[in-house]
């Protein structure tokens, strides 16, 4: 089925831009749920573009189907074991994955060429940078004026850890393309953006995000040697400034937020309970939402959450799902022309960083990560089948062997 040129170039593009720009924005509601404006734009995309949506087998992997199947089986497991499935598990976890798969599909619809992949990646960086530029001065002012004070910067993401993950993702994309013709940030703004993002990352005091950042700082200079100055210089400068001028302030004000020993102990306790739940039900787990129902807490680690609630089956599916994009991203990086290697490298590093973030939070439900995975897969599909999609570089359309999924 051929895509509609006028639709794809008009309303679809406009709604997708709004969706990407609002990805970092979430609001906590009175019902302990979070509302994301981007979901409203996603529903509009599906409502008005569903009939025109087309996809191919290369846009997906078997792991997409398996991850949905595992969660479906886990819902049934929870219902049989406890006689019910909590609303939180059904809406936040199960329907949340469905929404993320639909988001993945919508991004795939637009990424029909390397130029559109760069456009979406640039929008991801722009959405985070705009929020970071607003959040940082408000946070600094709040240190002096109590009504604006928050101990950890979190922007509009409603959570410092999720916000830190967004910052790390933007840094990965920015640094990998900083000295290329396909840069995502204008040359004159390259260093200011680096400084603003790093300051936001620091003041998030998110250890999970700092783990993710370690992936970026280690891998980016290896893949993109031209980026080493943007990676090494600010880290070294910040270290020197702290040691020479801010040692007392760091020890008195910042270190307690960094250390949070009681929380560290609590996280290890959570993981121990997750292991106990896994040992009790090693194959299929205790059922979706069972850990929260049992202990009143989330696991805060994607792999251990899978082990506790979906057993070894769920853990294998998550690992296979994540590795698929590592493999496809690496192949895309190897096959892509030099001009676009930076974008693909940034996407690959961002994906690895989100895997690092998942060690401290259940990062699988971060919407921006699914956008990165969609862009990685599109890069692989374009790089590995140039003859099948050669026309997409010319007129922005893929009219080869596509199947309709909208009707």
Note whether residue 161 is domain-resident. Answer: yes
The H or E element that residue 34 is part of is strand 34-35
Domain presence at residue 111: yes
Highest mean pLDDT (candidates 77-86, 205-214, 348-357, 390-399) = 348-357
186: Cα separation from own chain's centroid:
23
Structural contact between residues 287 and 309, judged by C-beta atoms closer than 8 angstroms: yes
Q: Quick check: 228 pLDDT over 80?
A: yes
Range of the domain at 77: 5-49+63-385
Q: How far apart are the first and last CA of the chain?
A: 11
Residue 345: inside a domain: yes
Residue 259 has pLDDT above 80, yes or no: no
In the predicted structure, residue 169 carries a pLDDT above the cut 90: yes
Count the domains in the chain.
Answer: 1
pLDDT band, residue 246 (cuts 50/70/90): low
Tell which residue, 330, 336, 329, 328, has the closest CA to residue 386.
336
Assigned domain for 54 exists: no
- Among 60, 65, 125, 162, smallest CA distance to 366 is for 162
Helix, strand or coil for residue 35?
strand
Q: Do residues 152 and 203 make contact, with C-beta atoms less than 8 angstroms apart?
A: yes
| Pair 45, 19: CB distance under 8 Å | yes
| Cα 219 from Cα 386, distance rounded (Å) | 28
Residue 300 lies in a domain: yes
Q: How confident is the model at residue 206 (pLDDT cuts 50, 70, 90)?
A: confident
Residue 396 lies in a domain: no
């Amino acid at each position: 089925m051929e895509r509609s040129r006028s639709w794809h170039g008009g309303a679809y593009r406009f709604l997708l831009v709004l969706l990407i720009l609002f990805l970092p924005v979430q609001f906590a509601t009175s019902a302990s749920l979070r509302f994301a404006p981007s979901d409203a734009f996603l529903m509009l995309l599906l409502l008005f573009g569903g009939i025109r949506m087309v996809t191919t087998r290369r846009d997906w992997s078997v792991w997409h189907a398996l991850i949905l199947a595992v969660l479906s089986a886990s819902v049934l497991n929870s219902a049989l074991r406890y006689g019910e499935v909590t609303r939180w598990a059904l809406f936040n976890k199960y329907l949340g994955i469905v929404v993320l798969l639909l988001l993945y599909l919508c991004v795939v619809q637009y990424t029909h060429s390397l130029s559109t992949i760069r456009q979406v990646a640039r929008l991801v960086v722009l959405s985070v940078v705009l929020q970071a530029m607003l959040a940082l001065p408000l946070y600094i002012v709040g240190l002096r004026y109590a009504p604006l004070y928050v101990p950890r910067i979190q922007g509009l993401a409603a959570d410092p850890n999720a916000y830190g993950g967004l910052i790390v993702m933007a840094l990965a994309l920015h640094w990998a393309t900083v000295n290329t013709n396909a840069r995502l940030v204008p040359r004159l703004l390259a260093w200011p953006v680096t400084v603003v993002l790093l300051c936001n990352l620091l003041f998030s005091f998110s250890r999970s995000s700092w783990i993710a950042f370690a992936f970026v700082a280690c891998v980016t200079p290896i893949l993109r040697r031209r980026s080493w100055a943007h990676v090494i210089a600010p880290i070294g400068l910040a270290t020197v400034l702290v040691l020479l001028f801010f040692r007392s302030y760091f020890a008195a004000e910042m270190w307690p937020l960094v250390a949070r020993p009681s929380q560290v102990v609590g996280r290890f306790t959570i993981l121990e309970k997750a292991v106990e739940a896994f040992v009790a039900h090693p194959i299929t787990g205790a059922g979706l939402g069972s850990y929260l129902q049992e202990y009143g807490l989330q696991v805060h680690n994607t792999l251990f959450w899978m082990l506790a609630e979906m057993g070894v089956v769920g853990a294998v599916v998550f690992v296979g799902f994540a590795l698929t994009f590592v493999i496809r991203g690496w192949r895309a990086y190897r096959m892509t022309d030099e001009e676009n290697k930076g974008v693909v490298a940034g996407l690959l590093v961002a994906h690895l960083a989100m895997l690092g973030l998942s060690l401290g939070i259940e990062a699988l439900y971060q919407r921006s990560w699914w956008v990165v995975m969609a862009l990685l897969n599109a890069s692989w599909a374009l790089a590995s089948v140039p003859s099948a999609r050669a026309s997409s570089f010319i007129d922005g359309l893929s009219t080869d062997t596509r199947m309709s999924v909208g009707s």
